Structures are given as structure tokens and as C-alpha cells.
Structure 1
Amino acid sequence: MGAETVLFLLSSLTHGGAERHTITLINSVSKDRPVVVAYLRNAAPLIDSIDQSRLKELVCLNASGMLDLAAAMKLAQLFKKHDVRVVVYTNLYPLLYGGAARLFGWKRVKEIEVFHSTLLRSKRESLQMVLYKLLLRGVDRMVYVCENQKKHWLSEGLNHPRSAVIHNGIDLGKFVPIESSESVLTARAKFGFEANDLVIGILAVMRPEKAHGLLLRAVASCAERGANWKVLMIGDGPERANIQAQVASLGLVGKVVFAGLLSDVREAVSAVDAMALVSTAVETFSIGALEAMAMAKPMIMSDIGGASEQVDDGVNGFLFRNGNVEELSYCLEKMAVPGLAGRMGALARSKVESHFSEGVMLTRYQALIADLAASS
């Protein structure tokens, strides 16, 4: 008898940490057992990151609105067609469709919810969470991606009896410090920076909760006190025009470079002294932050989600209170001390090596899936 089929269900295949995390799981799990991948919305810039040669099927369900029953029916048909035994949901929205698929005769299989969110963005999301809490009671395993996230949701009444924490991990062989000073200078020149410039990078989709403007205000404040940071913005999104307007209004024209979406961010990260992640919501356990740390770049992070599990404040980076521009500015001033970013960066690499490797993460997920598949 062959291995049991696993279906991964995502909202979309757009650029994001949760999506990249799931693709890493897909490419690993599909080496050992049959895998089907389905995504709800027709947005798939990351589709080529999936090794499709080993999949039984990859399909977009073309869902529209909050709950599209036609898409739920397609999902139920997929479950039946491939005799799916385990389904892995990426975040909460796909869970809604798993529940709806039962209306069309999908037999009960084992469900794993991999939850990537902590602080929610709006009252609407908080209201939706009431429904999701009911649905979460029925899943067989609840996976949080950091300890702080689990503690937060316990305090919000989400006490799942079969939950686990599996920290996100990254490929330590792919994300490595760039030792060649010539390569660093070449990268800096490519993005318009001089050898002696102080450069802070930010890698994030340009959405409101990523708070790019907060970083810009802190950089402008630092400049008034003599710490002249330049900024490399990696990524794109709906807020780009607003961010560009803030650059102009804060007098930072010529100090901020927009790199856009990059298929490989390593050269851009190598060009900076440090990286920042200043999100005000949603952020839970940033894969981008881990990748930067693995490249020996210290992080400056808002203290939300699992940031304090990644960054030891004052040791391998700095933390600041969520939304506090004065504290963020002070962190930038401290990071500007000559030589400090390099020393902190080396400790950041060590932290990721010892705690957040991709291999350890994948072993734990594979064991979880195998355990549930065997009992299905």
C-alpha cells in the first residue's frame, strides 16, 4: 500500500512568508508521499517555486467573495478524487473552505492548521475570528510558529487541546554571510550606495501593517541628530505610492532606494548594514528576518509576535515597542556605532544556526503528518 495523500490548501501563492513557508513544506513532503496543492485565489507569482514534477495535482479553485460554494465543491471533489487523508491549511481562510467542503460529501479526514498570525489588523478580522475559533475546535492539530503567538492566543481563549509550536526555519546553506568585501561593494554600487554609507534595509510587502512610513520617520529623526542612514526598500505593494510621497515630504529623496520585487533577495541584503522589520500587526515569526540574520545582518524589530524569540535585545539586534517611532529612532542611533552591526550580525547568524534551521523544522512537520496519516 502506498503512502497516504496530503493536500495543502492556501489562500493564494502570492509573495509572503506564510506562502514561502508552505512551499518549503510542499517541496519536502512531496519527496516521500503523494501531495495535492490547491489555492483559493487566482494570484500565483510564487507558483514556479513549487516542484510540480512530484505533485499529483496543482489547482486554483478560483474562489470569489468570502465563501464561494462552487470553490468549496471543487475542493470536495479533489478530496474524493485523490483519496486525501490529511489536509494542511495555511492560516485561517482555507479552514473555512475545508469546513464548507463537508457540505458536498467530503468524508472526515485529518486536519492540520498552521497558524501564522498574532495581532489582527482590524475589527472585521476580530469578528471573523469568532467563527474561526469554532472551526479550529474541530482540527486534529493546531500548529503555532512561535511560543509568543501561542501565549497570545491562549490569552484570547484559543485553547486547543492538541497544539504544538514548530518554529519557522530557513536553509542555512542558501543564506550565508557574504565574506568578500568586493562582493559587498559591488552589491552596494548596484543599488546606488557608497562604501561608507550607513544602510538599513526593509524586506516587506508594501501594505499598511508593514509600516514603512514608521521607518522613514525614524530615519529622518536620526538625521537631525547626526546619524545619517540610507534605506533600501525590498518589495512592492499597494502602499508604494504613499511611501514614495512620504520620502519626499520627509526630505529623504536621494536617501531611499526602491529595489522592487526580487526573485532572490540575497544580493540586496548583502548590501546593507542591518535590516528592519517594523510591522504593527500580523507579523508572527518572520522568515525574512531569519534569512537576514543567517546572512549575519542584525535586525531591528517591533516587539510583536515572536520577535523576542528571534532577537535578543542588545545582543544580536534591537527591539522597540510597537509603533514607537522614538524608540525605533534610538535603535537606529545605537546601530550606527562603528563596528556594532558587524558584531551583532555574527551573533545573529549563531542564533539562527542553533535554533531555526530548516532541517529541524521539516523533520517535525513530516513526523506530524506521518502520525496523522497513519491514524486516518
Structure 2
Amino acid sequence: MKATKSLRILFIADHLRFGGAERHLVAVATGLAALGNDVAVAYLKPYDELAGELAKGGVGQIVCCNSGGGIDFSAIRRLAKLIRDFRPEVLVATLQYSLAMTTLARLLSRSHAPLLFVCHSMEHVQRNRNERLRFTVYRRFYRMAKHVVFVSDLQRQFFKALGVRPRSDEVIHNGIDLAHFSAPAVAAEASQLRRSLGFAKDDLVIGMCAGFREEKRQIDLLEALHRLRDKRLPAKVLLVGDGIMRSQIEARRDALGLQDAVVLCGFQQDVRPYVAACDIMALTSHAETFPIATLEYMALGKPLVASNVGGLSEQVANGHNGLLYTAGDIDGLVAQLESLAAAPARQALGSIARQEVEARFSLPAMIERFRSTCAELATPRCPA
């Protein structure tokens, strides 16, 4: 049943730094606000880079709980007070730390608002021993949510195999603002940017936008670039992002003699002109769930070469709207990139990619799914 009445919805995030889960929260929260719902956002740790986008998008309250990490009882009390004052009809927690803190704050506030958990990642189970130990604690909170939203079917099956049994769940794929991620909207800026970055008209520019973290494996792309240039292809790489792996990436670039073929342009809040300035976009991660960045690439009409990890196969049909390869297989990566050396092949793949995103991953469709789910959760149940 789809209700049309306005709802009071409180989102709770770990923080408001730039990241996939946080950008997803901004899209859903502002989308629901635009539909006339009364939306508030609480963030636990004091990092607020995305607060401005929430305010601009119509979110009425944006509150920091100033958590110092762990089970911070002062932060729990602040969140409980917000729950009492705002009186949400639905609570939406993102990431497992937010889920745990929201569960405790909900108990303290004596709220009966149903709790929806949006599960974004599988990496916190896979990354290292400490993360796996944390999961053994946090997994107990999964069943305390009335409903769990997974962002890919593979992710749902992954947690099912671990014995996680939510009370109810569904898959809602990420969606993209197609008007915002439109190549014509940034074409002039992208052309100027390409020249200013030193790329020639005939260069084959391969781009990647991602944090410089171990699992993103920008180094794999550098290895592939080295082999492409050995084949006399005029390939170059544009890396957008920053992070703890920057020194290792720079060291590998220098060791491969690619100083003149790799441009590192740091973190960029608006990646659209950088993507549009490229000929091919790559994702070389060894771990993903259902990345938004790849949908953005395809929405901008760029041919995508991606490692077949996480839910990528739910986005990309290999050879149809993108190209997949086995993560870590540098020869496979090189072969897929080399197959796009000719402009007609790139244009054909990029055009189909845009069409697929329009058909399957639009922002309005995602927002409507969340609106319907929240309305269903907020609808009182008559006793049998």
C-alpha cells in the first residue's frame, strides 16, 4: 500500500564526509524532503562536509551528536533527545555504527518509531580481523531493525550466507540524478579542463574517481597503463581522489616511468567535468558493494571497464553496457581497455550505458521505493 501523507523521517549517519553511503543518504533525504516529507538528519561524528547539500535540499534539521567513537553515551543521550523532540514516524540508520547507536537511543527515548537500516557495505566484514570482530558485535543489531534495505542482491545473499536474518528486507538499487549527470551540461567545462590538464586531442585518457585506499587498487590501473604504452597506445590516466595510499601510488607511478602519463588532481567535490574529460572510465577495486560512481560514469555516457566485484554484474552486462574483468587480472584489464582504443567502440558502449542507467537506475525510481517503504513501515498494523 502506498500512502501519500507527509511523514516525519529522521536519518542517522556515522558522519557527513564525502563517501558512497553519505552521498546516498543526501540523495534519499533530500528526495524525500522534496516530496513534502518532514526530514531531519543526525550525524554522530563531527564531520559535516555534506551538511550544506542537505540544507539546500530542504532538510529541516541537521544535528551533530558529537560522538567520540564507540558506544558514546553522551552522543546517545543527544540522539535520544532529538528523537523525543522531533517525534519521527520512521528512523533510518545508515551503516552498522549508526544502527547500534540509534537502537540504543531509541530505547532511551522510549520511541516506538520503526527502525529502517540501509546496509551499504560488505567490506566491514572482509577487511581485517578487527573489522570482523566488530561485526560479531554489531550483527546483533541487524535484527533489531524492523526492515533492512540492501543495495544489491549479491550483498543480501552475502549476509544471508553469514547467518544474518533480518526481520524483513528488500533490495533497492542506487539511483542517479540523470539531469545532473548529463554530458551536455558539462561539455564546455570538460573540454577546457582536458586542455588545462595537458591532455592532447589524440590521447586515450582513462579516468578513475575514488579514494586512495588499498581496496580501490589504483596501482592496478597504473600497471595496465604501463602495458598499454608498451603497445604504443597513447594512453594516459587521470586519477581523481586522495587518501592514505597516495604516496604508494606516486611511488609506483615513478617506478614505472609514468610521470608524464599520470595526472593526480586530488579530491574534487564535483567530478562531472573530470569524468566528461576522459575517454574511458575504470574501476579497479578488489572490493565493492554497489558503487554509485560507476552509475555516474555511465550516466555521463562514458564506456566503463570495471572489475567484476560486489554488485557490478547487477549494473553491467559484459559487452553490452560496459566491460568486466576479474579483479587483479592485469592482463584482462589491459585487454578490455585495449578493445576501446577506437572512438566508435567507445561511443557505442557509452551510449548504451547511458540508456541502461536511464531505464534502470534513475533517482526518482529509487526515491519512490524508499518513500513507499517508509510509508509502509509507518502504517499502524491492526491486530489479527
Q: TM-score range by the shorter chain?
A: over 0.9
**Match for 1:318 among 319, 323, 330?**
323
> How far is the alpha carbon of 1:217 from its aligned partner?
1.4
> 1:167·1:361 contact (CA, 8 Å) conserved in 2?
yes
Q: CA deviation at 1:3?
A: 4.2
The residue identity in structure 2 corresponding to 1:30 is A
Q: Matches of residues 169-318 of structure 1 in structure 2 within 5 Å? A: 169-178=175-184, 185-281=191-287, 283-318=288-323
Task: Tell me which residue corresponds to 1:86.
Answer: 90
Separation in 1 of the partners of 2:229 and 2:238?
16
Matched, 1:6 2:4: no
Residues 41 and 197 of structure 1, relative CA distance in 2, 3 Å threshold = same
Q: CA deviation at 1:111?
A: 0.6
> Quick one: structure 1 residues 86 and 315, their matched pair in 2 at CA, closer, same or farther if it must change by over 3 Å?
same
Tell me, in whole angstroms, the C-alpha distance in 2 between the residues paired with 1:277 and 1:44. 27
User: Is residue 178–residue 184 contact of structure 1 (8 Å, CA) maintained in 2?
Assistant: no
Alignment correspondent of 1:71: 75
The amino acid that maps onto 1:323 is G
Post-superposition offset of 1:194: 0.6
Residues 277 and 177 (structure 1), Cα distance of their counterparts in 2 relative to 1, 3 Å cut: same
- Measured at CA, do residues 314 and 374 of structure 1 come closer, stay the same or move farther in structure 2, by a change above 3 Å? same
Give the aligned length. Answer: 374
Relative to structure 1, the CA distance from residue 255 to residue 83 in structure 2 (aligned partners, 3 Å threshold; closer, same or farther) is: same
Q: Distance in 2 between matches of 1:316 and 1:262?
A: 26
Q: Which residue of 1 aligns with 2:380?
A: 375
Secondary structure of the equivalent of 2:359?
helix
TM-score of the aligned structures, taking structure 1 as reference length? 0.93
Q: What letter matches 2:43 in structure 1?
A: Y
Give me the whole-angstrom Cα distance separating, in 1, the residues matched to 2:318 and 2:311.
Answer: 13
Superposed CA deviations along residues 255-309 of structure 1, whole A, max 9, x for unmatched, are 111222222211111111111111112x211111111101110111111111111
Q: 1:53 to 1:162 in 2, by over 3 A?
A: closer
Determine if contact 2:186/2:276 at 8 Å carries over to the other structure.
no
- 2:100 is the counterpart of 1:107: no
CA contact (8 A) 2:117 2:147 kept: yes
* Deviation digits for residues 96-155 of structure 1 (CA, Å, limit 9, x no counterpart): 101222463433320111111134322222222222221111211110112222222222
State the shift of 1:47 in Å: 1.7
Q: Which amino acid aligns with 1:96?
A: A
Counterpart of 2:24 (choices 12, 21, 25) is 21
**In structure 1, what is the Cα distance between the partners aligned to 2:340 and 2:128?**
33
Distance, in Å, in 2 between the alignment partners of 1:18 and 1:294 is 19
Partners in 1 of 2:56 and 2:273 — Cα distance? 27
* Structure-2 change in CA distance of 1:258 and 1:33 (3 Å): same
Give distance in 2, aligned partners of 1:366 and 1:179. Answer: 29
Q: Please say if residues 185 and 271 of structure 1, whose CA atoms lie closer than 8 Å, have aligned partners that are also in contact.
A: yes
Q: 1:45 and 1:327 mapped to 2: Cα distance? A: 37
Q: 1:153 to 1:269 in 2, by over 3 A?
A: same
Deviations 1:242-267 (A, max 9, x none): 22222111111011112222222111
Contact 2:308-2:324 at 8 Å conserved across structures: yes
Which segments of 5 or more consecutive residues in structure 2 lack a partner in the other structure?
none
What one-letter code is carried by the residue in structure 2 that aligns with 1:16? Answer: G
One-letter amino acid of the structure 1 residue matched with residue 52 of structure 2 = D
Residue number in structure 1 paired with 2:100: 96
The Cα offsets for residues 190-237 of structure 1, whole Å up to 9 and x where unpaired, read as: 222111100110011112221111111121122223334211111222
Identity in percent? 35
Q: Name stretches of at least 5 consecutive residues in structure 1 with no aligned partner.
A: none
- What is the one-letter code of the residue matched to 2:13? L
Change (3 A) 1:253 1:291: same
SS of 2:89 mapped into structure 1: strand
> Residues 7-39 of structure 1, C-alpha deviation per residue, up to 9 Å, x if partnerless?
101111111121111101111222322222111
DSSP 3-state at the match of 1:157: coil
What TM-score results when the alignment is normalised by the length of structure 2? 0.91
Change (3 A) 1:84 1:186: same
Please give the root-mean-square deviation of Cα atoms over the aligned residues, in Å.
2.1
